[in-house]
């Protein structure tokens, strides 16, 4: 199960994930990111605070958008990842490509 | 099944929605066998990745097909066997791509096997009695 909610903090578009992100739920995240881009979000943060699990299927969704984000000048980061999520990210070296943050940046 | 005497086994049909059941089976059994949390999480992730490939690519999400997961825990290692009858995966032909390549190609895949290779100490794919068998070993320290 994966629950997704969106919110706005200043000019940051925040997608919050709750539950488990795997091959059976990754399409929901894909759709949420597409929605954000269609709404012309320029600062996109994925809040992982309540995400319990991620597999490569979920990380693949992030990877597949990175070049679009760069081309469109969209700021993208991952917020408040738990230790087990961080472990999975760092095994692949994703921390080198995506900023891992613990609060919404000050303007 | 191989000649190894597996302690626990689980079988389910090939649907992505069953990945959660597979993960719960693996993690609960590893915890019962006092495998440390970090190892438990990593091994569960590796099993998820292999089963995802089996369900999606090997069996095209055909719910008439099954994937079996077997676990053996001993004081120094966890041995996992994942068995299906779908399309074989030729592990020897897998070529790892760099993250930069994956980003450039807007790829959503390819990272599952990369994760498994980094997590597990030994992985082998064999075909035994018309079944695909993925056998993986992880050295552990038990609590």
pTM, 2 dp: 0.94
CB contact, 8 Å: A2 with chain B? no
B69-79, pLDDT tens digit by residue?
A: 999 999 899 99
ipTM of the complex: 0.93
B103-116, pLDDT tens digit by residue?
A: 999 998 889 999 99
A43-73, pLDDT tens digit by residue?
A: 999 999 999 999 999 999 999 999 999 999 9
Determine which of B22, B45, B118 to mutate to test the interface with A (most A C-beta atoms within 10 Å). B45
| DSSP code per residue over A2-67 | EEEEEEEETTEEEEEEEEEESTTTHHHHHHHHHHHHHTT-SEEEEEEEEEEEE-HHHHHHHHHHHH
Q: Look over chain A and give the mean of its residue pLDDT values, rounded to a whole number.
A: 96
Give CA angle at B53 (B105, A70), nearest 5°.
20
**SS3 category, B122:** strand
CB contact, 8 Å: A68 with chain B? yes
Tokens of B79: 């041995």
Q: Using an 8 Å CB-CB cutoff, list chain A residues near B20.
A: 1, 20, 22, 24
């Amino acid at each position: 199960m994966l629950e997704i909610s969106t919110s706005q903090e200043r000019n940051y578009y925040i997608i919050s994930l709750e539950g488990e992100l795997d091959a059976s739920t990754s399409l929901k995240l894909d759709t949420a990111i597409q929605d954000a881009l269609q709404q012309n979000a320029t600062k996109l943060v994925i809040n992982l605070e309540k995400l319990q699990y991620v597999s490569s299927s979920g990380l693949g969704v992030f990877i597949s958008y990175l070049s679009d984000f760069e081309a469109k000048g969209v700021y993208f980061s991952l917020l408040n990842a738990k230790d087990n999520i961080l472990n999975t990210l760092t095994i692949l070296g994703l921390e080198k490509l995506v900023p891992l943050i613990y609060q919404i940046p000050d303007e | 099944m191989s000649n190894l005497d597996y302690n626990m086994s689980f079988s389910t049909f090939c649907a992505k929605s069953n990945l959660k059941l597979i993960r719960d089976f693996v993690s609960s059994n590893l915890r019962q066998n006092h495998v440390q949390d970090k190892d438990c999480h990593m091994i569960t992730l590796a099993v998820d990745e292999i089963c995802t490939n089996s369900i999606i690519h090997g069996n095209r999400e055909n719910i008439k097909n099954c994937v079996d997961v077997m676990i053996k825990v001993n004081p120094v290692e966890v041995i996992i066997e994942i068995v299906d009858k779908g399309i074989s995966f030729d592990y020897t032909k897998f070529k790892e791509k760099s993250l930069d390549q994956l980003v450039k190609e807007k790829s959503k895949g390819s990272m599952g096997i990369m994760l498994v290779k980094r997590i597990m100490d030994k992985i082998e794919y064999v075909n035994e009695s018309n079944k695909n068998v993925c056998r993986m070993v992880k050295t552990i320290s038990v609590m």
